[in-house]
Homo-oligomer: A and B are copies of this chain.
């Protein structure tokens, strides 16, 4: 809306659209209703079954989609489901692209999200025009499903880097190193990674990150566990060995079972650090 586009929206929880309505958006009852009025549609949903329902369900977009519509799904889901949706959309004369997003709530508010886009290359510019309103980076990844693949790959490596940073900082502290100094050394050396230099999990090392705020906000452990489950599924299906990715998945799964589900995923430092007897 800030970029001058009229917005027509729908959500299974209508109350979540209240603020949007007050800003001037039109709120409709169902995805099918939106498809009836708009020919460029962006969806963002929690998991594969929701996407299947919103596109192919009884009140789904494809029930009333207009020929030539551009459908962009920014959910993080199994790439195989993205491919199925693309096939179903094509049968109705529409184009489906997957465009999952990375960056947290802060990036969303300030329009600095990164979109990773999969789908027909000739439609990429149209998608980019829309997505650029919300994200600083819009990257073309290849055929439909590759946006998901890129997102899943990034988050798997992110989880590995975060747990690795947490282990490493914890070990260094136990060996007598000052945490700020250790972070500085890692960041000028080959141990450097996003989790060490931008989102350090140790309280007191950086400001403005969840570790400075008791692991509130940020990217929840449950969401990370979900993305790692997607990575594991795609790895199993393609017979790809991912030993660290797989163990990272298990660690975040254990954290969910031990009370860390809603904390930021950098709380793995806290999960690992307590000493015996405390």
Interfacial residues, chain A to chain B (CB-CB below 8 A): 79, 102, 114, 116, 137, 139, 141-143, 145-146, 149-150, 152-158, 160-161, 163-165, 167-172, 174-178, 181-182, 184-186, 188-196, 198-199, 222, 225, 229, 231-236, 238-251, 253-254, 256-258, 261, 271-277
Contact = CB atoms under 8 A, between A and B. Distances in A.
Nearest to A235: B171
Contacts of A277: 261
Nearest to A198: B190
Contacts of A116: 185
Nearest to A139: B185
Contacts of A192: 193-194
A176 B149 contact: yes
Contacts of A102: 189-190
B241 A254 contact: yes
B239 A256 contact: yes
A234 to B, nearest CB: 6
Given A153-B169, A243-B254, A244-B244, 10 more contacts: A141-B185, A154-B185, A160-B244, A171-B240, A190-B194, A190-B195, A190-B198, A193-B194, A239-B256, A240-B253
Contact of A275 (B175, B182, B239): B239
A132 to B, nearest CB: 15
Contacts of A198: 190
A7 to B, nearest CB: 27
A199 B193 contact: no
A274 B246 contact: no
Contacts of A176: 142-143, 145-146, 149
B232 A261 contact: no
Nearest to A181: B141
A149 B161 contact: no
Most buried by B among A191, A192, A235, A257: A191
A177 B242 contact: no
A190 B195 CA distance: 8
A248 B185 CA distance: 21
A161 B158 contact: no
Contacts of A175: 79, 145-146, 149, 152-153, 234, 238
